[in-house]
Amino acid sequence: MPPINVGDEAPDFDLPAVMGNIKQRVKLSDYRGKKNVVLVFYPADWTPVCTAELPAFNAELEKFAGYGAEVVGISVDSIPSHIAWQKKEIGILSLPLASDFYPHGEVATKYGILREGEPVPGISERAIFVIDKQGKVAYARVYPIDRQPDTEDVYQVLRKM
């Protein structure tokens, strides 16, 4: 399935998530009419680039909030992995980390970014989608898997919204 594009209706999802140690659910449609959403798909907990990427987004939550945006991290890892990763590696985050664990990669597949080929199948691409308050995709980009995304492109989109 090809990645979704700017202007497309964002596929809804309802995923288990954790914010710090607090388990919750994240449903994209709950933000409709209220906030823009920055979906940060990352390949896996415990990897070097992801270990830098998510804390970087967490450090800028106030700036995102200033643009009326909520940040949600999503990977195919389980909730126990998200909790352990925060405790051991990156510190407790103030953004929800959603688990696309079961059915494995279902949301990444809906967004067209589940890796199926080599070298590492079964994880998502490193990608960012900005969803506007009406549920439409305002920004969609897949990044090199070995590089941390620059958030300036995301801010440029949010400034125009």
pLDDT tens string for the chain (161 positions)? Answer: 667 999 999 999 999 999 988 999 999 999 999 999 999 999 999 999 999 999 999 999 999 999 999 999 999 999 999 999 999 999 899 999 999 999 999 999 999 999 987 778 899 999 999 999 999 999 999 999 999 998 999 999 999 99
Strands laid side by side in the 36-41 sheet: 22-27, 14-19, 97-99, 69-75, 36-41, 126-131, 137-143
From the candidates 50, 83, 95, 108, give the one annotated as an active-site residue.
Answer: 50
Residue 146 confidence (pLDDT): 93
Q: Strands 97-99, 69-75: parallel, antiparallel or unpaired by DSSP? A: parallel
Burial class from Cβ neighbours inside 10 Å (0-12, 13-18, 19+) for residue 99 reads: buried
Which amino acid would we find at residue 24? Q
50 is catalytic: yes
Residue 96 confidence (pLDDT): 97
